[in-house]
Structure 1
Amino acid sequence: MKRILVVGGGLIGARHVDAVRAHPGCDLAGLVDPDPDCMNDGSVTRFMDMTDAPDDIDGAIIATPTHLHSAHGIYAASRGWHMLIEKPVAGDIAGAQALKQAVVKAGVQSLVGHHRRYHRRVARLKELIAGGALGEVVTVSLIWAMRKPDGYFQGNWRTAGGSPVMINLVHDIDILRHVIGEIDRCVTLPGRSLRGTDRIESGAVAIAFENGATGTISFADTAPSPWGFEAGIGENPNIGTTHQDMMWITGTKGALSFPSMTQWQGIDWSQPATARDLSDPGDETVPLDRQLDHFLDVMDGRAVPLIDVADAARTLSVALDIEAQLSTGSGEQRYG
């Protein structure tokens, strides 16, 4: 049994607490959160600070606000705890690099919570692309759009820092890196503010991959729609499920829409492309549970981290660049 400490009792932290308590290979050592009203029903051992936690901890799941990830991860490493850190890995590249050095120095394992990599359909998509089912990837188009409730931004860190780039698109960026390839450069266009703040709310991103493919992302947290990873997959209990596709990939041998895993093929442009279902009715385990399984294997040395601090730092770098471009309008060429 691995003794797991959860740090941060917010929306995702609470899900981690439930996952650890339900896992037969884990024992929940407690929850660290300075808010006395957070999960105060007496069912969880509470600590106000990580320094209050006992020494018999095997691993820490860090689900605190992004700007605290690096400091909390460095402290966990100093205690000899393996760690699973929620995405993004840190608030800036300097923090990610400092965390990487602390992990190496302490000799502990790190895993970063880009949990979409654990979705069976994502694994299937990566397998199909790597196996040449689409030939050479040419383009990818992705939409993430929903209207977040106003209360999501009120009275918390999201009021000023709740950009969908760092909260939501960072996941999509990571999936694109994971299944298409490393990203070479991006160009962005910011959308208008509808909530009357300086916070990024919507925009468009054009992407060039190192392998020559190109892509686009259209995103908004002010527009209700059926399109988005969470809605399409049905992975998040807080977001309604639509089962609509939200990513479309073209290649030299055909195209594929995700998450339906519909492959489209046809050589003669005068004839309609034909569709084929490439979905696999395999393991439908909740990704957070699969991630926890993997974390236990990583701690025991039975598996290589699917995404560690160093890998996640590359996703962070792309997301930060997109955020900076959207905030400053750098690289934008105006016409007329």
Structure 2
Amino acid sequence: MRLVIAGIGLIGARHLAHALEMPGIEVVAVVDPSLSQDHVPHFATIEDVDLAADGVLIATPSHLHADHAEAAAARGWHMLIEKPVAHSLEAADRIIRAADRAGVRTLVGHHRRHHAAVARLKDLLDAGVVGAPVLASMIWAMKKPDPYFEVPWRAGPDGSPVMINLVHEVDLLRHLFGEVVEVAGFGSNAQRGAARVESGAAILGFAGGVSATVSFADTCASPFGFEAGTGENPNIATTGEDYLRICGTEGAIAFPSLTVWSGAADWSQQPGVRRESFTPNIPLVAQLAHFADVCAGAAPLVSAEDGRKSLEATLALEAAVAPRRVAA
């Protein structure tokens, strides 16, 4: 696969590093108007690229995704678009229409679906190890350093942890439990006082009857979060702590340890406990390998339409947790 990478910020730089090391992937160009690299030819815009390519990885700020996707689709490039697929439903629809017009395929970068531990969790739930899922409880609580917000677009509402981080969690919960039908919540900006939500809690109701609580903050020095628990992000310290617990009619499971409690008929009995195993992988690498298959004709694991559904649920969550007042 001949690949163009558009955007080499925090996540784009990680994609570039992996892609340069992967057999079967040739990075033919990088597009970024401000950041530079010296591995491959560099261009300021997608339109400037004068090399042949099969696909593009769009890792630019989300409010630019639709513009860049339209330009890429016009070139006939298949697209891997970082999450969220776009910043609005209207922009997501532009991406879907552009891909349909050009006859190209789109994969949305919800890379946690490619994580081996997530795949094992999904298999265990589908196999009924906890019976019918009823409840889920999730805590994502990290403390972002102040320099993180020195990037201009992160300083305002677009720097909300909902659209940057919780979109991952919403997509994961959709992957496990199906479609979100109800959202309620409360949010605060009491610590930094910026014009964005920085902490809060939400309740998500799913069509199948599962209720999930999601507590979040980018102001807490805690060990709880997907990245901290799994160690999948080199920019975030690894703690190995569980951040998600799922309870069902016949047991419970904690993630990412994959600790399973089962065998108790009711509260009078002691459940058995065990830990399930899996073979670790690098999800960004697995996602790139899948994108190569998508460019060759495979169906995407996360289509643009699927990414739009996660975006819609995340936007509803963001609206539910919008701070009622700006902190003094």
Query: Is TM (by shorter chain) over 0.5?
Result: yes
Question: 2:265 aligned with 1:232, yes or no?
Answer: no
- The separation in 1 between residues aligned to 2:236 and 2:152, in whole angstroms, is 20
Counterpart residue number, 2:29: 30
Counterpart residue number, 2:205: 208
- The separation in 1 between residues aligned to 2:84 and 2:251, in whole angstroms, is 33
Counterpart residue number, 1:252: 249
Matched ranges for 1:129-168 at <5 A: 129-160=125-156, 161-168=158-165
Deviation at 1:154, TM superposition (A): 1.2
* Contact residue 262 and residue 279 of structure 1 kept, 8 A: no
* Contact residue 189 and residue 196 of structure 2 kept, 8 A: no
- The separation in 1 between residues aligned to 2:87 and 2:63, in whole angstroms, is 5
Deviation at 1:209, TM superposition (A): 0.5
Deviation at 1:328, TM superposition (A): 6.2
Counterpart residue number, 2:169: 172
**After the TM superposition, which of the residue ranges 110-119 and 19-28 deviates more from structure 2?**
19-28
- The separation in 2 between residues aligned to 1:125 and 1:182, in whole angstroms, is 18
Q: TM-score, normalised by structure 1?
A: 0.93
Question: 2:13 aligned with 1:14, yes or no?
Answer: yes
- The separation in 1 between residues aligned to 2:49 and 2:189, in whole angstroms, is 45
Deviation at 1:326, TM superposition (A): 2.0
Question: 2:304 aligned with 1:304, yes or no?
Answer: no
* Aligned residue among 84, 90, 103 for 2:86: 90
* Contact residue 193 and residue 199 of structure 1 kept, 8 A: no
User: Which ranges in structure 1 are unaligned for 5 or more consecutive residues?
Assistant: 330-336
- Kindly provide the amino acid, as one letter, of the partner of residue 311 in structure 2: L
The share of aligned pairs that are identical, in percent, is 48
Deviation at 1:247, TM superposition (A): 0.3
Matched ranges for 1:263-282 at <5 A: 263-265=260-262, 266-280=264-278, 282=279
- Kindly provide the amino acid, as one letter, of the partner of residue 278 in structure 1: E
Q: TM-score, normalised by structure 2?
A: 0.96
- The separation in 2 between residues aligned to 1:296 and 1:121, in whole angstroms, is 22
Q: Secondary structure at the match of 1:327?
A: coil
- The separation in 1 between residues aligned to 2:59 and 2:8, in whole angstroms, is 7
User: Which ranges in structure 2 are unaligned for 5 or more consecutive residues?
Assistant: none
Q: Alpha-carbon deviations, 1:62-102, whole Å to 9, x = none? A: 00001001110111111100000000000100000111011
- The separation in 1 between residues aligned to 2:94 and 2:105, in whole angstroms, is 15
Q: Secondary structure at the match of 1:157?
A: helix
Counterpart residue number, 1:107: 103
Moved runs in structure 1, 4+ residues, more than 3 A?
none
- The separation in 2 between residues aligned to 1:68 and 1:30, in whole angstroms, is 19
Q: Secondary structure at the match of 2:212?
A: strand
Deviation at 1:30, TM superposition (A): 1.3
Q: CA RMSD in A?
A: 1.3
Deviation at 1:185, TM superposition (A): 1.0
